Structure formats: structure tokens, C-alpha cells
Structure 1
Amino acid sequence: MTPLLAYGLHRFYRRGGTEIAALRDVSLTCAAGETVAVTGPSGSGKSTLLHLLAGLDDPDGGWIDVAGHRLSHQRPARAARLRAAHLGVLTQSSGLLGHLSVRENIRFAASLSGPGGPSPADLIDGLGLTAVRDSLPRTLSGGETARAGLAVALAGAPDVLLADEPTAEVSRDEESTILDLLTHWRPAHGATVIVTHAAAVAEHADRVLHLVDGRLT
């Protein structure tokens, strides 16, 4: 089974009377165990592609399959169930709920996905969060926030891990730690897609794709 398959993706936006193409005929296949980095300048369509792959937006053309399930053009409730069951999403804003501790955030994410994933305790220990497990997100450093966000994304043992600029808010030393953790904890039989501007992040991928003006080059 192919963890992630996107075919012929088009996405257009309207600005006043002008139609702007954010993505143009983008196709992507990720094999089991593969990490793919998507790079490109600002405005190239990277964030749009990630939103489509996460089922947070629908393409104007084309479709996306995740773990053998059609993700595109589903009712919101169906898309949310598929996202919880098969996807882990690490965003620049971490996705942490501000009123919950690190441990509570991880437990909540695991409860949405059902059984089968790593235990919250294993994630806390494995990602170096033991000292801050009872802390609220607002008290965390950039590196701690990135690691906690990764733990939440991994809590349901996703078939596909999507990461948006996972090292954008961390120091160079912390960047190396985050990349090592991503490599170690990525879905062994799934796929990982990382959107990034950073060459050091792209170097950790098995394959690098470049988006320019909404097209893969």
C-alpha cells in the first residue's frame, strides 16, 4: 500500500477579479519509509500543498489518497476522521492546546487517533520532554515546543507525517536535535513530507522536490 499519493493537484485563488494559480498539476507519490522534502521560494505553493495533503483544504483539480483512502472532496467530518486516523501534522505553531500541559496534549492527541500508537510516556522520554511534561506550552523554549509538537503529531502512529518548517523557531544546535528525532521517529512503514526553506533540513530527506510558481521542477 502506498502511504501517500497525490495526482494532478490544481489550486486557484481569486484576488479581486484576478485568478491566481497556487498549484499547477502537482503529482506526488511517497513510498513506505520514505522522507520527502519540498522546497521552494516564498509564494511557490509549499503551504498550499501541505494544506491539501493534510485534508485541510480541497484541490480544484486532482485528488489525494492517504493509506488507501481518498482524502480529497470529503465531508468535513469524514476528512477529520481520516486525518485523525492516518495523519500526523507538525505545524510552525506547534498545534499545542495552550490550556493543557505537554503530557495532556500528547494524551489528548492519542485519544483522538485510537489505540496502536506509542505511549505518551514513551514519546515524552524519547523526545526529551520529561523535565517539561507538566508545563504549559507558553513556558516552553523553541526547541521544547518543536519537540512537543512532534510528540503530538506522532501520538497516533500516523501513516503519513507532515511537517511545516519544523526547525523554523529553533537554534542551530536544536535544529540538529529535531532532525535526528524526526529521522528516528518517522513512520517506519509510512511516509514523511517536510516543507522547508532550510538546506540542512532538506539534506535529511531521501528525496527533495522543488516547487516554483506552483509547479514541481
Structure 2
Amino acid sequence: MTPLEARGLHRFYRRGDTEIAALRDVSLTCAAGESTAVTGPSGSGKSTLLSLLAGLDDPDGGAVHVAGHRLSHRGPAAAARLRASHIGVLTQASGLFGHLSVEENVVLAASLGRTGGPAPADLIDGLGLTTVRRSLPRTLSGGETARAGLAVALAGSPTVLLADEPTAEVSRDEETTILDLLDAWRPRDGAAVIVTHSPAVATHADRILHLVDGRLT
């Protein structure tokens, strides 16, 4: 089973009378156990690509398959079910509910995903969040927020981990910690795709793809 496959993705936007190509014929296959970094300048289409891979947006051409299931061009409910079962998303905004503690956020995410993954308590301890497990997100440091967001992304035992600038808000030392945790906890029989501007993050991946003007180079 191929964890993640995207074929011939095109995505266009309109700005007034002008049509803008955000992605042009982008294809990507991620093997089991592989981590892939996607780099490129601002405006190159990285965020658009991540949205399509997560099933949060549909391409104008091509399709995304996750764990053998077509994710693109499904109804919102069907796409949400596939996303909950197979995809963990780590964003700069952390994905944490502000009114829930770290532990409550992780437990909620685990309840929505697949069974058989790490227990919430193991994730919390393994990611160094034991002392802040009952804390609200607004009280966390940048590094703690990044680790809590990673715990939430991994809680549902995802086939694919998608990360958007996972170390953007942390120090250099904390970046190293996050990268080590990503490597230790990412899906072993799945795949990870990391969008980043950081050379350290990119070189930590198994392979690096460059996105320029909506095309992979």
C-alpha cells in the first residue's frame, strides 16, 4: 500500500480577470516509512499543495490518494472521515483548542482517529509534555506549543503526517528537539511530508523536493 500519492495536480485561482496557477501538474508519491521535505520561496504553492494533500481543498485537475483511497473530489463528510482516519496535520497555528488542556486536546484527537496508535499518555510523556499536560495552550512556550501540536497530529495514529513549518516559532535548540521527536514518532509504515523554509528541517528528511512557480523541480 502506498501511503500517499498525488498525480497531475493543478490548482488555479482568480484575481479579478487574471487566472493564477498555484500548482501546475504536480505529482508526488511517498513510500512507506519515508519523510519528504518540500521547500520553495513564498508564493511557490507550498501551502496550496499541503491543503490538497490534506483534502482541505480540491484540485482543478488530478487527484490525491491516501492509503489507497481517493481523497480528492469527495463530499466534505467523506473527506473528513478519511482525513480523521489517515491524516495528521501539524500547522504553525498548532491545531489546539484553546479551552482544552494539552491532555484533553490529545485525548480528543485520539478519539477521532484510528485505533492501535500510541496512547495519549505515552505521547504526552514521550514528547516531553508531562509537566504541562493540564495547561491551556495560551500558557505554553513556543517549543511546548509545537510539541503539543505534534502530539495532537499523531494521536489518531495517522498513515500520513503533514507538517507546515513545524519549527517556525521555536529557537534553534528547540528546532533540534522537534526534529528528533518528528523522526522518532512519525508513522513508520506511513509517510511524512514537511513544508519548510528551514535548511535544518529539509536536510533532516529522506528527500527534498523544490516547488517553484507551482512546479516541482
Where do 1:1-217 residues align within 5 Å?
1-217=1-217
What amino acid maps onto 2:116 in structure 1? G
What amino acid maps onto 1:7 in structure 2? R
Q: Secondary structure at the match of 1:176?
A: helix
Q: Secondary structure at the match of 1:187?
A: coil
Distance in 1 (CA, whole Å) between partners of 2:117 and 2:47 is 27
Following superposition, the deviation at residue 10 of structure 1 comes to 0.1
**1:7-43 CA deviation, whole Å, 9 max, x = no partner?**
0000000000000000000000000000000000000
**1:98-130 CA deviation, whole Å, 9 max, x = no partner?**
000000000000011142111010000000000
| Number of corresponding residues | 217
Distance in 2 (CA, whole Å) between partners of 1:173 and 1:184 is 17
Q: Which runs of 5 or more structure 2 residues have no equivalent in the other structure?
A: none
**1:40-95 CA deviation, whole Å, 9 max, x = no partner?**
00000000000000000000000000000000000000000000000000001000
Distance in 2 (CA, whole Å) between partners of 1:204 and 1:108 is 30
Q: Among the aligned pairs, what percent are the same residue?
A: 82
Q: What CA RMSD, in Å, does the superposition of the two structures yield over aligned residues?
A: 0.4
Distance in 2 (CA, whole Å) between partners of 1:115 and 1:103 is 18
Distance in 2 (CA, whole Å) between partners of 1:56 and 1:49 is 10
Distance in 2 (CA, whole Å) between partners of 1:116 and 1:71 is 22
Distance in 2 (CA, whole Å) between partners of 1:39 and 1:152 is 24
Distance in 2 (CA, whole Å) between partners of 1:6 and 1:120 is 31
Q: Secondary structure at the match of 1:43?
A: coil
Distance in 1 (CA, whole Å) between partners of 2:114 and 2:69 is 17
Distance in 2 (CA, whole Å) between partners of 1:117 and 1:93 is 24
Distance in 2 (CA, whole Å) between partners of 1:59 and 1:115 is 30
Taking structure 2 as the reference length, the TM-score comes to: 0.99
What amino acid maps onto 2:145 in structure 1? T
Q: Which runs of 5 or more structure 1 residues have no equivalent in the other structure?
A: none
Q: Secondary structure at the match of 1:203?
A: helix
Taking structure 1 as the reference length, the TM-score comes to: 0.99
What amino acid maps onto 1:91 in structure 2? T
**1:139-161 CA deviation, whole Å, 9 max, x = no partner?**
00000000000000000110000
What amino acid maps onto 2:130 in structure 1? T
Contact 2:114 2:157 in 1 (8 A): no
Contact 2:114 2:158 in 1 (8 A): no
